[in-house]
Structure 1
């Protein structure tokens, strides 16, 4: 277990422990997930064959409220990965002061190999298997890698069929017409943008003088890339799972988004003549993108993209983790030693769970907000917690990652201690 993703994720707590006072009871609680579920999902394929897919749901901690976390469909999904993601979600919700604990789910599958009907059967089968493990007051799933509003709509519908009642708050990230919140689909990228803008001002960085590379041009990466480009940042490289493109003069991000949405890729061509001006560009790999000499690097794909094996190649001045766990713990020290400023995932990508919280509140109240109100509330949340973590980093002279864990641990420790600790029972 020592070389597992979860063990790697847990290392981040060790440094934070030096800067907080937290009960031994609270630390003991946080060593282990509260509950883990492994299921087998039988799916009848279009050709009549039967396939079994492994599925998982982990609720790491629910001291501060119901579990909250996405469901990902990916070939590499495992219990270790889902446990790590649930662990990160626990701290993410605490960092943003949301009334949730941390949870995560997933299915080991390559969704690109399934038809839409097979994907629906898989999704409904997953909910059949975990229906007693989730609920609006227990654990609330949301979108993640290769899951989207349509998938979340199937999940909600299947849960309602099983429970014979209407429960829109059982999942978030649903289609608007099924009770979803406006602004949820772009929330992760938008929240990341608010954090980046807040901190870049503190570094006296002017947008037009700042070059950006974004690894992962999915929902979150594409949104933050476009928002930065509109503000004047020079986005010079983007990539998806098939590869990427680089143009020293900068890329036309809206046109690339249009092309990717129409053609499901960005590697083969820069964009269409009808929607943008062609500029000279290079086709690059994801590994080459990470090693570009840019000011701002945004890993927005999967975990463990920057490790001890390639950390020496990193030349960016600032890294903002839009993906979950894109930098392994053993790479942190090298980046810090070279003065590369890293802003952690548990802050940067928390916009998604924040607007999921807004959606949950709207579902339960029956009162729905405008996109302007959603984005305004999101901006206030992201800036407020970014400022608090920045202040902790300055006060203790520690990296932003450590400061974020200190911030989250303080809130988790207070909640766990409120249940009663050793000192309470021994000393009265």
Structure 2
């Protein structure tokens, strides 16, 4: 009788209709597959039950988070090798319904069920976001719960991953050999210069995180800042930092939805890594709200992840792993859609800069920080959540490197009726 690894390899290739590009190491110690390839470690039969009860990415995610599935060797190489099976397969080419008509496919499923015994549904890991349908997305309450799920997991854990800068968005690198702290400082400075920050200006920082942009703007450019976040933990941390910097007279940190900000107008608005949480149905509302909060001539810097456009946009679906474990209710849109909606809201889009490669470098540094202090990271949050962060950051780094997703800074102006934008003739003078 075949050992577990060989049986799993044979079944996987039957189910996927292609050779498996990784080794399999099973719970009985057996191995099968290419000898020099990364190893997919199936620690117990429960991993199979996760996959059988939730076929596809969500089943894989549950097995990974629970620790039933692991990778031995270079995680990036393993994810790159398995990308065709996880992210790049054509779902329409071989749907489950079509496959079940194939007697060999049905036989493989029956064999997998037998190998996974007892065939009982495993409970999802506790780190999974529980929800009842997707009918009421992006209400103030649902957004507050989604933000808490992602950000209220412990400031100490985020310090470990992000480093001293405490900036949770794409850095701006002069060289791949630079430090993460320098690259994050340069990103905050780039945003400040695009917004034309100077003493006397009033800045609204939407999704202010742990206060890094607010502190940089007030300390380096002398502006007054209001930062808003939905995360109680972020706000407490940011207020402490502001007090330690002696900037309480210039920075106010609020736990507040951007839709509830009523004390405009502002001279400038920064939205850095926040708009991904807004959702397609609410995006025009978001753009109009920010437009209304600006003075005539005011500037918005919208820093946002984008996905590649699809031939059939109606067929786009959210990533199951990201939605369940990382950014619940988060949505990505093509950058052209974002720019068009900003313009519909009344903005004049004046500059768009893609910094896709910069995010890949940033994510790899975050992964390295977590891996270097892995035991501590698990203790500061939970073993499952540490596994989530390591996987999602490594997979995201590869997605940026392979141009599956991108990140863009869009500078938009509330240009007055006179047509005077307030920008210099050589707009990109901010580059020095």
- Report the TM-score, using the length of structure 1 for normalisation: 0.33
Work out which structure has the larger RCO, using CA pairs closer than 8 Å and 6 or more positions apart in sequence.
1
Query: Which structure has the greater CA radius of gyration?
Result: 2
